[in-house]
Amino acid sequence: MTEKNADSNNMGIFSCITTPLLVGLLLYGLNKTFGKTIKNWLFASFWKRAMIEYHSTMREMKKSHFDSMQRQKSADVDLRKKSVLRILEIGAGPGANFEFFPKNSKLMVVEPNAFFEPLFFENENKYPDIQMDKFIVSNAEDMKEVEDNSVDIVVSTLVLCSVTSVEQTLKEVHRVLAPGGKFYYWEHVHDKPETWLCLIQSILSPVWCFLFDGCNLNRSIDQTVLGCKVFSQVEQKRFNIPLKKGIWGIIRVHVMGQATK
Ligand SMILES: C[S@@+](CC[C@H](N)C(=O)[O-])C[C@H]1O[C@@H](n2cnc3c(N)ncnc32)[C@H](O)[C@@H]1O
């Protein structure tokens, strides 16, 4: 082998090792820098389409779940005189719940994915009776911008599957609720043990979590609400949603509940 051939062979081996390494490093860097942003954008684009089928099917059931909110009185004397409630919605996403809130409610939102903001405000414009207070881009596990004992109602629909800690989120919900305030939740849950769906949810959960922005299939949220023992009263029930096809079949077991401070 001539010296020139040996040099070009070495260069070939060198580039075989360094090219994948550099590409890997570049992808790792891009994922570290923009990964969350890309995932947030993808999830917001996905959910704004998926929610149309979900919420139109569930509208009547959700309406009766939220109905008792109309009878809730504010803990704030001035607001009570004006029949106004202060509501905080965590993980509001595109804003699917405006229609269930009593007229004149003051609404605050804690939502970590800023890509939902434009669609949220587009929907908010259709409900001029709701007074928008603040849209806070943050996680529900740490709502330092919301004062202790300051809201009458906290709402969460399909959010507790995605928070990093359900227990910490419930503590925060309890902290911000005024005495007598209510937490309304509507979540998909892990099916009861020894069912096929329970097993499928356990197996799929890690991949699902990666694909759907941190959504866990294997959380028994109803048990966590009861187990955290921070609320004075909890009323909840499990039910199956009437959607069965595709992704809906996997998350068909739900819980709806109200927990009182
Ligand atoms: C499946 S979407 C549901 C959106 C809306 N609540 C609905 O019912 O259409 C889940 C929502 O939870 C939000 N979310 C994820 N992690 C969160 C966290 N740690 N704190 C608050 N919201 C969170 C997501 O950004 C998204 O808006």
Instruction: For 77-97, give the DSSP string.
Output: HHHHHTT--EEEEES-TTT--
Neighbours of 185 (CB within 10 A): 25
Q: What is the pLDDT of residues 42-68, one digit of tens each?
A: 899 989 888 899 999 999 999 999 999
Q: How confident is the model at residue 36 (pLDDT cuts 50, 70, 90)?
A: confident
Considering only CA atoms, which of 182, 52, 191, 213 is closest in space to residue 123?
52
Structural domains in the chain, CATH included, are 45-260 (3.40.50.150)
Ligand 1, pocket-test mutation among 97, 162, 221, most atoms within 8 A of CB = 162
Token pair in block for residue 134: 């603040």
Tell me if 91 CB under 6 Å of ligand 1: yes
Token pair in block for residue 248: 């809906």
Percentages helix, strand, coil for the chain, rounded to the nearest 5?
Answer: 50, 20, 30
**How many Å apart are CA 187 and CA 217, to the nearest integer?**
11
Say if residues 54 and 243 touch (Cβ distance below 8 Å): yes
| Å from CA of 104 to ligand 1 middle | 24
Q: What is the pLDDT of residues 69-126, one digit of tens each?
A: 999 999 999 999 999 999 999 999 999 999 999 999 999 999 999 999 999 999 999 9
Query: How would you list the strands of the sheet with 177-188, edge to edge?
Result: 131-136, 106-110, 86-90, 151-157, 177-188, 253-260, 233-240
